[in-house]
Amino acid sequence: MKIEDGLITVTISLTNVHFTQAIDNYLEAVDYAKTSSRAYNWIRSKYNSISSIIHSYSALESVVSETGHSLFFATKSHLYVPAQQRNYTLRKTISNWQNTTCIDKLSIIMEQLSGTAMDDRVLTRLRELNNLRNWLVHGFVFESILLLQENADFSENNQTYTLEDREDTVDWRKKFPNTKFNPLDEIDATDARKALEIALSVVLGIFKFKKREMFVLSNYHYGAFYLILDSTLDGEKALDLYISEATAKSGGGAERQQDDA
């Protein structure tokens, strides 16, 4: 970091904002799921789960954008790759960088940082998360055939049914064979957890090659708190560590106090 005439140029991104929001939403979803018998809490859990997934991917996109900027556009960055060191394919891609997909950008960045291609298993899970995020954000529509059974007390004044089975126009097992995400209308905290683990794993992988530790800032769920994550961790261990450390700091638990309304 160099200050010249009192001026310094810094790169600003919303990475920590998105990760903080994603973790907050996940923790909220878990808490609401624990009390899903209370009025509307299952809906609150679903809404927080969906928000967590979207913010997890947004955090990943933010890191990819920031790293790409440092590698190819910020001439004073220690990561900057001079034009004469870029091959034809890289130059052509960078010339259309804004229209390049996040996953393609990530693959280019990781090859540039590590010298090797990304693990296919990581890319496969990431593509499934990308697909889920796009469907959630862009309003994907599908049809479902429902098999309903009249309840025992069914009458003119009490026309209620029990859902016996459903068949969707989307084969979710084939669409998400690796991540096993739920159908869009059944998203829950387990899906939010998977999204966070995938995003954190990829981001920590980037930080490892950038030789940087990752800061996760405080969130209101546990009060004032921050944690430095070792970039050798994977997403699952990083998230478990964060929750464990934050819970301990808060005095053993910070489950939301929810009323029955």
With respect to residue 188, please indicate whether it lies within any of the assigned structural domains: yes
Which structural domain range is residue 187 located in? 15-140+179-249
Report yes or no on 48 lying in a domain.
yes
Query: How far does Cα 18 stand from its chain's mean position?
Result: 9
- How many domains is the chain partitioned into structurally? 1
E strand map for 13-160: 144-150
- For residue 169, tell me if it sits in a domain: no
The predicted model scores a pTM of 0.87
Nearest Cα neighbor of 183 from 28, 37, 50, 38 is 50
Would residue 146 count as lying in a domain? no
Going by DSSP bridges, is the β-strand pair 161-168/214-216 parallel, antiparallel, or unpaired? unpaired
pLDDT band at 260 (very low <50, low <70, confident <90, very high): very low
Question: Is 223 among the domain residues?
Answer: yes
pLDDT tens-digit profile of 134-179? 999 998 999 999 998 888 887 777 888 888 888 999 999 999 999 9
How far apart, in whole angstroms, are the C-alpha atoms of residue 218 and residue 31?
A: 18
